[in-house]
Structure 1
């Protein structure tokens, strides 16, 4: 049985639409938040154990690396919330056409960038 299908093996020529990128990034942000929860739970548990543990966590969270990690977690949370609202609106039957899906995905990208900037200003 010979299948005569077009085969495109050059991955650099494949272009995903904005809605597909938005959906993929929604999943990636969920994974980032899941990893970040481990760090946050550790910080909470350590800070509640003793005064020394609280001082340790306080010292760690005032450093650049910890602020960068917190910025990444909060940026992922912001994007995940925005994209989640977009997906829920689509589940209600709106924004299901190609143009409205593309526009809503682009709006999520712009809003996520603004949230990321605001979180960075708030942290630093």
Structure 2
């Protein structure tokens, strides 16, 4: 049976609600943290092997690019924690209505931006 309905696959023309964006960003931040975990474990293992390894990791992490990557990791972590708390509150029965879900998603965005700025100030 062939459905005769229009299909819009152009994502730039679709307007996602704040709750959908929050959920998508929560998943993306989880993937970023998973990748970052591998890099951070390598840095820890290398720095604990010898004094030369520690000096190499220290020199690597003091560059601008490494600080920018660390800022991205901290931003992803902050957002993931905030969105995770929001999801846990929703699992407990809070913010389940449409309006309160939108407000809580927007609050997570604002708090995540604040945490991102604080992480940038702390790193630089």
TM-score w.r.t. the length of structure 2 is: 0.95
Aligned: 1:88 with 2:88: yes
Q: Give the 3-state SS of the residue equivalent to 1:8 in structure 2.
A: coil
Counterpart residue number, 2:78: 78
The alpha-carbon distance between structure 1 residues 43 and 2, as it changes in their structure 2 partners (threshold 3 A), is closer
The alpha-carbon distance between structure 1 residues 56 and 11, as it changes in their structure 2 partners (threshold 3 A), is closer
Counterpart residue number, 1:55: 55
Partners of 2:34 and 2:83 lie apart in 1 by 16
The alpha-carbon distance between structure 1 residues 30 and 9, as it changes in their structure 2 partners (threshold 3 A), is closer
Structure 2 gaps of 5+ residues are none
Give per-residue Cα distances to partners, 1:18-67, cap 9 Å, x unaligned.
00000000000000000101110011000000000000011111110110
Structure 1 position 14, deviation (Å): 1.1
The alpha-carbon distance between structure 1 residues 73 and 9, as it changes in their structure 2 partners (threshold 3 A), is closer
Tell me how many residue pairs correspond in the alignment: 124
TM-score w.r.t. the length of structure 1 is: 0.95
Partners of 2:91 and 2:76 lie apart in 1 by 22
Structure 1 gaps of 5+ residues are none
Partners of 1:39 and 1:2 lie apart in 2 by 48
- 1:19-30 equivalent positions in 2, closer than 5 A: 19-30=19-30
Partners of 1:44 and 1:26 lie apart in 2 by 26
Q: Tell me how large the CA RMSD over aligned residues is.
A: 1.1
Give per-residue Cα distances to partners, 1:66-103, cap 9 Å, x unaligned.
10111010100000000000000000011011100000
